[in-house]
Amino acid sequence: MTSPPALWTSMVPADTVFARSQTAVGAVGHRVTYADGSSQLCATSGLWNVPLGFGNPAVLEAVSRASRAASYLTLFRAPHRYAERAAERLLTIADPVKYRRVIFSTSGGAANDAAMKLSRQYWSQRGVASRSVIVGLRGSYHGTMYGSHALSGDDLLQEAYAVDRRSVRHVAHADDGEELEMLLRREGARVAAVVVEPLLGSGAYPLTDAFVSRLLALREEYGFLVVADEVATGFGRTGRMFASEVWDAAPDVMILSKALTNGVAGAAALLVGPRISTEFVRGGWTFVHGETQAGTPACAAAVEAVIDELERIDVIGTVNALAAELGRVAEALRADGSVDAVRGRGCFLGLSLRTAHGEELSGAEVLDVVAAIAAHGVRVQPGPSSIGLIPAYGFRAADLAEMEAGVRAGLAQMRAAAP
């Protein structure tokens, strides 16, 4: 038996062996290069992380300067100015009326864990420890840390890992909030928070306006906290700086990651609204959460540089212009039957796939489609019976044409091979 490689790659069987054409060696602009000399156009923004393109010079220079000046500073029991400035900038672009404090974390999964802890402590210290239930959405993805793994609504082997889901509930997202309301009628006095992705990262399913309106009305009635997980949707991705900013009322916590540093540092942030932050200050409570690598000088400098770059390119105008062109590509694929349906918002689209017999594709079949498209030079994101198109904001007409050609060729190859 051949010995497995030293690197244990995520989300694939442990015996997977990768060819040179699958082993990345570089990434510049919108392209990833491989050990065999080939390259692919990345239509996933590096797993949502790199909306400004690989190797953005301004972000790299900011990180380099901070690393030379302060290679490491911690946020345990004391601040540092790099993190203070980054927090101030985040509140400025998110609205300092809606959000008052920033907690730095190291990943979207870790930040979701922190949000669950924060919500439960909020109620516990107010003398309502029974309010410990966290509600998420079926089909959602919040990470694979212990808490976020429990909260994720996808089937991710939670039972095998003995992830404790006794204080977690999941409801539908496509019923305009009916199941959520039914749950609250039964357990509303026990619900600490409801955590939602404004646009589900797995499949690009947007929450309907009716769902959001009902969620906010139910918050008023039952008092739970609302957490918006904007790990995938933040920083302009849906045509707004943050997808939840169009809601009639702000969430109590907004979680950010991925585009936060344009992929150059493992980073996340919780933006905490006044309802929670005021109570913690008034009570003098200590939030017992800390991460060694959270909010380091390099990370904080990257956050500031990303915000500068988003402002420089007029991110909202840029994304909406690109989204119009991306939408035309997606609609052309739907119109000629290459894909079944198109969903999503802005520069975050999901293309629904079905077999010739009208059946949804399995996870393995979707991965085969992704591999076929990759063989034609384009990286796309797999989803539930779908593929995702998540281009970086610097895509031009030639990039969109190359993306469309690769997607068409890969889908045609799979149709030709189908029984």
State pLDDT tens for residues 114-155.
999 999 999 999 999 999 999 999 999 999 999 999 999 999
**pLDDT at residue number 357:** 87
Task: Please check whether residue 233 is in contact with residue 197, taking contact to mean a CB–CB distance below 8 angstroms.
Answer: yes
**pTM of the predicted structure, to 2 decimals:** 0.96
Residues 362-419: pLDDT tens digits? 999 999 999 999 999 999 999 999 999 999 999 999 999 999 999 999 999 999 888 7
Q: What is the pLDDT of residues 161-173, one digit of tens each?
A: 889 899 999 999 9
d(CA 219, CA 212): 11
Q: What is the DSSP letter of 21?
A: G
Q: Tokens in use for 259?
A: 């585009």
Q: Categorize the per-residue pLDDT at 111 as very low, low, confident or very high, splitting at 50, 70 and 90.
A: very high
Q: Token pair 């959270």 is at which residue?
A: 294
Q: Is pLDDT of 2 > 90?
A: no
Q: Is a pLDDT exceeding 70 seen at residue 156?
A: yes
- Phi, psi (deg, nearest 5) at residue 314: 50, 70
Strands across the sheet containing 381-383: 341-345, 348-352, 386-389, 381-383
The rounded radius of gyration (Å) of the Cα atoms in the chain is 21
CB 103 within 8 A of CB 270: yes
* pLDDT number for residue 356: 87
Q: Note whether 403 and 43 are within 8 A (CB).
A: yes
**Segment 223-270, tens digit of pLDDT:** 999 999 999 999 999 999 999 999 999 999 999 999 999 999 999 999
Condensed to tens digits (0 to 9), the pLDDT of residues 359-374 reads: 999 999 999 999 999 9
- Residues 23-47 have pLDDT tens digits of 999 999 999 999 999 999 999 999 9
Domains of the chain from N-terminus onward: 57-312 (3.40.640.10), 313-417 (3.90.1150.10)
Say yes or no to pLDDT of 220 above 80. Answer: yes
CA dihedral 54, 56, 59, 63 (to 10 degrees): 60
List pLDDT tens digits, range 307-335.
999 999 999 999 999 999 999 999 999 99
Chain position carrying tokens 């357990």: 187
Cβ contacts of 202 within 8 Å, gap of 6 or more: 139, 140, 141, 154, 383, 384
Residue with tokens 């309106």: 213
Residue from 363, 364, 373 nearest 415 by CA: 373
Alpha-carbon gap, residue 16 to 209, rounded angstroms:
42
Mean pLDDT (whole number) for 189-198? 98
**Please, which pLDDT band fits residue 1 given cuts at 50, 70 and 90?**
low
- Across the range 272-289, mean pLDDT stands at 98
Range 157-182 average pLDDT: 94
Beta pairing, strands 191-196 & 225-229: parallel
